[in-house]
Amino acid sequence: MPEARRWLSWLRRRGPEPVQPPAVPKDDLALPSDPWRPVAGEFALRLLTLSWEAVHHIGEAEFREQDPERRKILFRIDHSVTRVRRLAENLRVLTGEPLDDPDPQITSLHDVAHAAGAAVEHYERLHFGPMVDLAVAASAADDVIRILTELIDNADRYSPPTEAVTIAAHLTGDGDVVIRVEDSGIGLNPAHLPWLERLLSGPDGPAPDELRPAHLGLSVAAVLTHRHPSLRVRLVPRQPRGTVAMLLIGADLLCETPQVVPEPVPAPTPNHQNDVTMVLPVQRPGQRAAPKPMPRRVPASVRGTEPPPPPATTEVHRTAWQDDAADFNAGVDAARARAPQKQKDPDDRLPQP
pLDDT score for 36: 75
Residue 304 falls within a domain, yes or no? no
What total number of domains does the chain contain?
Answer: 2
Which residue(s) pair with 249 in the sheet? 177, 231
Q: Which of 274, 257, 290 is nearest to 131 (CA)?
A: 257
Q: Which of 73, 100, 127 is the last residue of a domain?
A: 100
| The pLDDT value given to residue 45 | 87
Q: Is cis: bond before 38, omega within 30 of 0?
A: no
Q: How confident is the model at residue 245 (pLDDT cuts 50, 70, 90)?
A: very high
Q: What is the mean pLDDT of residues 342-348?
A: 52
Are 191 and 113 members of one domain? yes
Residues 132 and 171 in one domain: yes
93/119 same-domain check: no
State the Cα–Cα distance between residues 96 and 54, nearest whole angstrom. 25
Do residue 150 and residue 41 come from a single domain?
A: no
Query: Which of 37-41, 145-149, 163-167, 232-236 comes out lowest in average pLDDT?
Result: 37-41
168 within some domain: yes
140 & 221 share domain: yes
Confidence of residue 341 (pLDDT cuts 50, 70, 90): low
Q: How confident is the model at residue 29 (pLDDT cuts 50, 70, 90)?
A: very low
**Same domain (yes/no): 255, 128:** yes
67-110 pLDDT, tens digit each: 989 999 999 999 999 899 999 998 898 888 887 777 889 999 99
Residue 20 has pLDDT above 50, yes or no: no
Average pLDDT of span 159-183 = 93
pLDDT value of position 5: 52
d(CA 112, CA 131): 10
In this predicted structure, the answer to whether residue 272 has a pLDDT above a threshold of 80 is no
How many beta carbons lie within 10 A of that of residue 237, not counting itself? 15
Which DSSP helix (H) or strand (E) runs through 13? helix 2-13
Please say if the pLDDT value at position 228 is more than 50: yes
Q: What percent of the chain has pLDDT over 70?
A: 62
pLDDT at res. 316: 44
Same domain, 169 and 224: yes
Q: DSSP secondary structure string, 272-326?
A: SSS--------PPTTPPPPPPPPP------TTSSPPPPPPPP-HHHHHHHHHHHH
Q: What is the mean pLDDT of the chain?
A: 77
pTM, to two decimals: 0.69
Boundary-marking domain end, from 72, 100, 128: 100
Q: 137 and 168: one domain?
A: yes
* CA 276 remoteness from chain centre: 59
Task: Answer whether residue 331 is part of any domain.
Answer: yes
Q: Say what the alpha-carbon torsion angle 212, 214, 219, 220 is, to the nearest 10 degrees.
A: 130
Residue 16 located in a structural domain? no
Structure confidence by residue, pLDDT tens digits, 192-226: 888 888 888 765 656 666 666 667 888 899 999 98
Short-list 166, 151, 197, 160, CA closest to 13? 160
What number of other Cβ atoms are within 10 A of residue 279's Cβ?
A: 6
What is the domain range of residue 335?
A: 105-259+315-353
Q: Same domain for 87 and 179?
A: no
Higher pLDDT, 195 or 146: 146
| CATH number, domain with residue 254 | 3.30.565.10
**Mean pLDDT for the stretch of residues 255-269:** 75
What percentage of the chain's residues is helix, strand, coil (to nearest 5)? 45, 10, 45
329, part of any domain? yes
Lowest mean pLDDT among 170-179, 230-239, 271-280: 271-280
Q: What are phi and psi of 177, to 5 degrees?
A: -125, 135
Q: Which residue has the higher pLDDT, 38 or 134?
A: 134
In a domain, 347, yes or no: yes
Residue 201 is predicted with a pLDDT of 79
pLDDT band at 326 (very low <50, low <70, confident <90, very high): low
- Do 161 and 122 meet the contact criterion of CB atoms below 8 Å apart? yes
**Is 172 found in the same domain as 234?**
yes
Residues 124 and 226 both lie in one domain: yes
Element spanning 92, H or E: helix 68-94
**Highest-confidence segment of 68-82, 288-302, 336-350:** 68-82
Do 72 and 149 lie in a common domain? no
Query: How many residues in total does the chain contain?
Result: 353
C-alpha closest to that of 74 among 88, 54, 89? 54
Query: Which of 100, 117, 142 lies at the terminal end of a domain, its last residue?
Result: 100
Q: Is 273 a domain residue?
A: no
- pLDDT level of residue 43 (50, 70, 90 thresholds): confident
Residue 221 and residue 242: Cα distance in Å, rounded?
Answer: 20
Comparing CA positions, the residue from 146, 166, 47 lying closest to residue 101 is 146
pLDDT at residue 279, rounded to an integer: 56
Helix (H) or strand (E) holding 255: strand 254-255
Beta partners for residue 168, in sequence order: 180
Answer yes or no: is 252 within a domain.
yes
